[in-house]
Structure formats: structure tokens, C-alpha cells
Amino acid sequence: QQPVQSPQAVILREGEDAVINCSSSKALYSVHWYRQKHGEAPVFLMILLKGGEQKGHEKISASFNEKKQQSSLYLTASQLSYSGTYFCGTESASNSGYALNFGKGTSLLVTP
């Protein structure tokens, strides 16, 4: 079952903060976050694992509430380059192997 992302869209001025949420009705093993710019491939941002471990390579923070099966992505001091669509992909016992179940995305626009 597809995770639910909120908000659907957000517009920020450069320097403002944003939070993007992802929730699932399934017990999750991990949550993966990606950013996709128009016409480009989704780019990996971060993995949050059951048990609290995080793996990422960008200056972005996130949380994973295992009890609520929710994850939040925190974008602070936003830059113009943060614009794009953010997707969460979830891994659970009901997924096919290691496949990810993606939400519909959150569109983020950062303006000067």
C-alpha cells in the first residue's frame, strides 16, 4: 500500500525551513527519501532504518517514528537548488523483496 505524503506542495522563500511527512499503514523496515527534478532521475537523499540508524550523504536531516510508521524530512535554510519533488519510498514485510513503495511526492519550490 502506497505511503501518504504531506503536504502535496509547498512554496518557500530562500532561507526558510520546510518539513515533509511520510506515513504508512504498514510496519516499516526502512524509509528512503529521494529528490527528483523535472526530467531527471530521482536522487538518493537518505535512508532511515528501524532502530534509528540513518544513512545519507547530504546536509539534510530526517526522523523515523517506528511506533507511528511515520518519517519526516527536514529542510532547513532552503536554497534554490532544493526545488524539486520529494518522494519517500518505504520498505516493509509486504513489499516485493527489496523493492520500494513510493508515495505520490511533495513538490517543493524555493523562490529568491
Binding site for other proteins (CB under 8 A): 2, 29-30, 32, 34, 40-44, 47, 49, 55, 87, 89, 91, 95-105
Neighbours of 107 (CB within 10 A): 15
Q: How far is the CB of 94 from other proteins (least distance, A)?
A: 12
C-alpha cell at 74: 527536514
Between 43 and 77, whose beta carbon lies closer to other proteins? 43
Please answer whether residues 101 and 1 qualify as being in contact, where contact means their C-beta atoms are separated by less than 8 angstroms. Answer: yes
Q: How far is the CB of 77 from other proteins (least distance, A)?
A: 24
Between 51 and 112, whose beta carbon lies closer to other proteins? 51
Q: How far is the CB of 109 from other proteins (least distance, A)?
A: 15
**Helix (H) or strand (E) run with residue 107 in it:** strand 106-111
Q: How far is the CB of 42 from other proteins (least distance, A)?
A: 5
What values do phi and psi take at 95, rounded to 5?
A: -70, 160
Between 16 and 29, whose beta carbon lies closer to other proteins? 29
Between 61 and 104, whose beta carbon lies closer to other proteins? 104
d(CA 92, CA 103): 14
Residues comprising the chain, all counted: 112
